[in-house]
Every structure is written in structure tokens, then in C-alpha cells.
Amino acid sequence: MALSRDQMAIRVARELQDGYYVNLGIGIPTLVANFIPNGMQVMLQSENGLLGMGSFPSEANVDADMINAGKQTVTAVSGSSIFSSAESFAMIRGGHVDLTVLGAFEVDVSGNIASWMIPNKLIKGMGGAMDLVAGADNIIVTMTHASKNGDSKLLDVCSLPLTGKGCIKKVLTDLAWLEIENDAFVLKERAPGVTVEEIQAKTQGRLIVPEHVPEMVF
């Protein structure tokens, strides 16, 4: 079975470490915040200028001046800090954020990522995604393995305009955990019940399959 959105978030959360500063993108990455292991301290960075993002506020505590990068009303945790956009992107660009999790349309074997622009469709803009992928060393991309039409999103060469070049090393899809090494996707883990053959069939880019590919356990 392909992973659910929550299972994808749970798998990403296993990469968290105590004391990490983490930036979570919109969509599945945001769900990771729900699965931070008990007893582990993680600070969430929101690129509009908040380090230490908390949960959504109660109705009584909604504050128009307190939002996250998705423009949602949020709270700040004890020990948080708030700063300007320039300061926020100094943290990101300067490589101070320990882990960045974001979605994508395509990733290729060179670590290129396309996530913001589909030609001839409406272009809304890249927001902070280009800064995030250029600045972070440790990035996890979360996306479905193939489109609804069955087209692979793991390619030899991205077909869409890039968000960043050569910056992705880890990809979690609904079918597999893969790492990019030596111009290939290396299949590290399979979703429960998903065969290597299915993953091979849905991966257009060069795929290396080690002798033993463990199943994820939930």
C-alpha cells in the first residue's frame, strides 16, 4: 500500500534529531509537526520571520499579527524569536537551519528539483522555495512517486523549470525512501507491501536497488 499523508509525515519525523531547527513547507511537510517524538526538542522556523512556531491558536487567541509562511494564524512557543524577513533568510541562506522539508513536482538524479512553475499554467511565484533549497544542506523532498496519470516524478532530467540545481539528496514518496548518490536514486526503503518491481516501473530516472530493501514499519 502506498503511504498515507500521515505515514509520510511519520517517516520524515524519524529523521528529526533533538535540538534541530526545522523548516517545514506547505502540505505534507506541515504534518511532520504532529509527529515530533515525545521528549524531543525541535524548533520550527517559519520564513516570514518566526523561529519557534507553535500550534494554531484558540479562537480567543487569534492574532492577525501572528502568522506563519502559509499565512495561517499560529502561536509562538516559549523561547521563540521573531525577526525580519532579511534575518529569516540569513538563517536559511547561511545554512543554519538543520532540516528543510518541502514538496516538489519533480526531482532528478542530479539532485535538481522543480517545484514552482508549470509552463503555460498560472505562475504564482516561488516564494521562499529557491532560497530554502539553495541554503539548506539537509533537505527532504516529499511527493507522490508518480502523477495521477502514472508519469514518474523521479527523472533522469527534470522537465520543468528548476527551483534549485544539485541540492536534493533525500526523497520520500508515497512508495519509497530514496537517496540520490552518484547520479542515481538509491532505493533505501519500501512502503509496506509495495514491491521493488512497482517502484522500478514508476521510476524513470536511473535507480539502484540494493540486495536488501527493507520495508518501512509503522
Partner 1 sequence: MAGFDKVVTTYEDALSGLKDGMTVIAGGFGLCGIPENLISEIKRLQTKNLTIVSNNCGVDGFGLGILLEDKQVSKMVSSYVGENALFEKQLLNGELDVELTPQGTLAEKMRAGGAGIPAFYTATGVGTPVAEGKDTRFFNGREYLLEEAITGDFAIVKGWKADRYGNVIYRHTAQNFNPMAATAGKITVVEVEELVEVGELDPAHIHTPGIYVDRVIVGTFEKRIENRTTSK
* Binding segment (CB under 8 A) for partner 1, from list 33-41, 84-92, 177-185, 187-195: 84-92
Considering the rule CB under 8 A, would residue 81 count as an interface residue with partner 1? no
Considering the rule CB under 8 A, would residue 21 count as an interface residue with partner 1? no
Q: Which of residues 100-159 bind partner 1 (CB under 8 A)?
A: 112, 117, 122-131, 134-135
Select from 59, 78, 120, 217 the one that contacts partner 1 (CB under 8 A): 59
Instruction: Spell 141-172 as b/e; 16+ CB within 10 A means b.
Output: bbbbbbeeeeebbbbeebebebbbeebbebbb
Q: How far apart are CA 3 and CA 33, in angstroms?
A: 17
The amino acid at residue 188 is: K
- Residue 106 designated active-site: no
With CA atoms as reference, report the closest residue to 181 among 110, 105, 106: 110
Q: Which of residues 174-213 bind partner 1 (CB under 8 A)?
A: none
Query: Residues with Cβ < 8 Å from 122, sequence gap 6 or more?
Result: none
Smallest separation (angstroms) from partner 1 to the CB of 100: 13
Q: Which of residues 85-104 bind partner 1 (CB under 8 A)?
A: 85-86, 88-89, 92-93
* Binding segment (CB under 8 A) for partner 1, from list 3-11, 48-56, 168-176, 190-198: 48-56
What value, to the nearest 5°, has the Cα angle with vertex 33 and ends 30 and 34? Answer: 110
- Which positions from 159 to 178 touch partner 1 by CB under 8 A, shown as an x/- string? --xxxxxx------------
Radius of gyration of the chain (CA): 18
Determine contact, residues 163/104, Cβ cutoff 8 Å: yes
The catalytic site residues sit at: 47
- Point out which residues bind partner 1 (CB under 8 A): 46-50, 55-59, 62-68, 70-74, 76, 82-86, 88-89, 92-93, 112, 117, 122-131, 134-135, 161-166
